[in-house]
Amino acid sequence: MRNLARVATSSLVALCVGLSLVVVALTAIGIMGAHWSTILGRQIASNELATSTATGELARNLDTDYVTGEEAFLATNSGMRSHALGSLYTTLLPATEADMTNLVRLHGTDPPTMRADIQRLVRQWDAVRYELSPTTVGAHPAATLAAGLSADYLPLGQHLDRLLAAEQADGQSAELAQSADVERIIGILIGVAVAGLLGGGFLLYRGIQRIRQALQPGLNQEEFAASLQIASDEDEAHELLQRYLERILAPKTTVVVLNSNNSSDRLEAAVPLPAGSPLARSLRRAEPRSCLAVRSGRTHREGSSRLALLSCPVCAAYPGASSCVPLVVGGKVIGSVLLNRPTPYDEAEEHRIHESVNQAAPVLANLRNLAIAEIRAATDGLTGLPNKRAVTDTLKRMFAQAATEKSPLALLMLDLDHFKQVNDQRGHAVGDQVLANAGAVMRGATRSSDFAGRNGGEEFAILLPNTEIPVALRIAERVRAAIAEMSLPGLDVAVTVSVGVAGYPEHASTPDRLERMADAALYLAKRQGRNRVELAVPSAVVGAFDPTDLAGPTHPAGPAAAPPPDPGPAAADLVPGPRPGANGQDAVGNGQSSGGNGQGSGGNDLGGAGQASGLERSRNPGNA
**Burial status of residue 47 (CB atoms within 10 A of its CB: 0-12, 13-18, 19 or more):** middle
For the chain, the domains span 2-200, 235-376, 388-554+567-616
pLDDT: which is higher, 554 or 311: 311
Rounded to whole angstroms, the Cα distance separating 460 from 413 reads: 6
Rounded to whole angstroms, the Cα distance separating 515 from 500 reads: 10
What are the pLDDT digits (tens) for 412-432? Answer: 999 999 999 998 888 999 999
- Residue 590: predicted pLDDT: 36
Q: Which long-range contacts (CB under 8 A, 24 or more apart) does 132-141 make?
A: 132/65, 132/69, 132/88, 132/93, 134/85, 134/89, 137/72, 137/73, 137/85
Residues of the chain above pLDDT 90, percent: 31
What are the pLDDT digits (tens) for 513-527? Answer: 999 999 999 999 999
Determine the Cα angle at 325 with ends 324 and 330, to 5°: 150
Burial 421-434 (b: 16+ CB within 10 A, else e): bbbeebeeebbbbb
Closest of 252, 180, 248 to residue 220, by C-alpha: 248
Helix (H) or strand (E) holding 329: strand 321-329
- Residue 478: predicted pLDDT: 95
pLDDT: which is higher, 306 or 300: 300
Q: Which long-range contacts (CB under 8 A, 24 or more apart) does 583-586 make?
A: 584/418, 584/421, 585/418, 585/526, 586/415, 586/416, 586/417, 586/418, 586/419, 586/420, 586/421, 586/458
pLDDT: which is higher, 558 or 267: 267
Residue 45 pLDDT grade (very low, low, confident, very high; cuts 50, 70, 90): low
Superfamily grouping for domain 388-554+567-616 = Reverse transcriptase/Diguanylate cyclase domain (3.30.70.270)
Q: Which long-range contacts (CB under 8 A, 24 or more apart) does 95-103 make?
A: 95/61, 96/58, 96/61, 96/62, 96/65, 96/125, 97/129, 99/54, 99/57, 99/58, 99/61, 100/58, 100/125, 102/54, 103/51, 103/54, 103/55, 103/58
Rounded to whole angstroms, the Cα distance separating 580 from 420 reads: 9
Mean pLDDT of 342-367: 90
Residue 246 has pLDDT above 60, yes or no: yes
Residue 384 has pLDDT above 50, yes or no: yes
What are the pLDDT digits (tens) for 558-590? Answer: 333 333 433 333 333 333 333 333 333 333 333
Taking a C-beta distance cutoff of 8 angstroms, is the pair 338, 258 a contact? yes
Residue 336 has pLDDT above 90, yes or no: yes
DSSP assigned state of 92:
I
Most confident of 53-67, 108-122, 193-207, 525-539: 525-539
- Residue 3: predicted pLDDT: 61
Q: List strands edge to edge, sheet with 266-269.
A: 266-269, 254-261, 332-341, 321-329, 300-302
Q: Which residues contact 263 (CB under 8 A, 6 or more apart)?
A: none
Residue 304 has pLDDT above 80, yes or no: no
Kindly indicate whether the domain formed by 235-376 is annotated with CATH number 3.40.50.300.
no
- Residue 30: predicted pLDDT: 74
Residue 83 pLDDT grade (very low, low, confident, very high; cuts 50, 70, 90): confident
pLDDT: which is higher, 57 or 31: 57
Extended strands (E) in 130-189: none
- Residue 553: predicted pLDDT: 34
Backbone angles phi, psi at 616, to 5 degrees: -95, 125
Beta bridge partners of 416: 497
Residue 125 pLDDT grade (very low, low, confident, very high; cuts 50, 70, 90): confident
Residue 198 pLDDT grade (very low, low, confident, very high; cuts 50, 70, 90): confident
H helices present in 528-591, as ranges: 547-551
Mean pLDDT of 462-481: 95
- Residue 176: predicted pLDDT: 75
Helix (H, G, I), strand (E, B) or coil at 34: helix
**What pTM did the predictor assign?**
0.54
Taking a C-beta distance cutoff of 8 angstroms, is the pair 416, 496 a contact? yes
What are the pLDDT digits (tens) for 22-44? Answer: 767 777 777 777 667 767 666 76
Taking a C-beta distance cutoff of 8 angstroms, is the pair 335, 251 a contact? no
Rounded to whole angstroms, the Cα distance separating 345 from 320 reads: 11
Mean pLDDT of 199-220: 81
Residue 217 has, within 13 A of its CA and on its CB side, a CA count of 15
What are the pLDDT digits (tens) for 127-154? Answer: 888 888 888 877 778 788 888 888 888 8
Helix (H, G, I), strand (E, B) or coil at 308: coil
Measured CA to CA in angstroms, residue 229 lies from 332, 364, 367 at distances of: 21, 10, 10
- Residue 9: predicted pLDDT: 67
Mean pLDDT of 265-288: 88
Residue 117 has pLDDT above 60, yes or no: yes
- Residue 131: predicted pLDDT: 81
- Residue 173: predicted pLDDT: 76
Closest of 135, 137, 156 to residue 63, by C-alpha: 156
The dihedral through the CA atoms of 502, 507, 510, 513 has a sign that is: negative
Rounded to whole angstroms, the Cα distance separating 33 from 190 reads: 12
Least confident range of 166-180, 287-301, 455-469 = 166-180
Mean pLDDT of 82-101: 85
- Looking at this protein, which amino acid is placed at residue 127? A
Backbone angles phi, psi at 621, to 5 degrees: -65, 150
Mean pLDDT of 210-233: 85
What are the pLDDT digits (tens) for 595-622? Answer: 345 444 333 333 333 333 333 333 333 3
Rounded to whole angstroms, the Cα distance separating 568 from 588 reads: 16
C-alpha torsion 470→471→473→475, nearest 10: 170
- Residue 597: predicted pLDDT: 52
The mean of the pLDDT values for the chain is 79
Q: Are strands 266-269 and 300-302 parallel, antiparallel or unpaired?
A: unpaired
Residue 491 has pLDDT above 70, yes or no: yes
- Looking at this protein, which amino acid is placed at residue 51? T
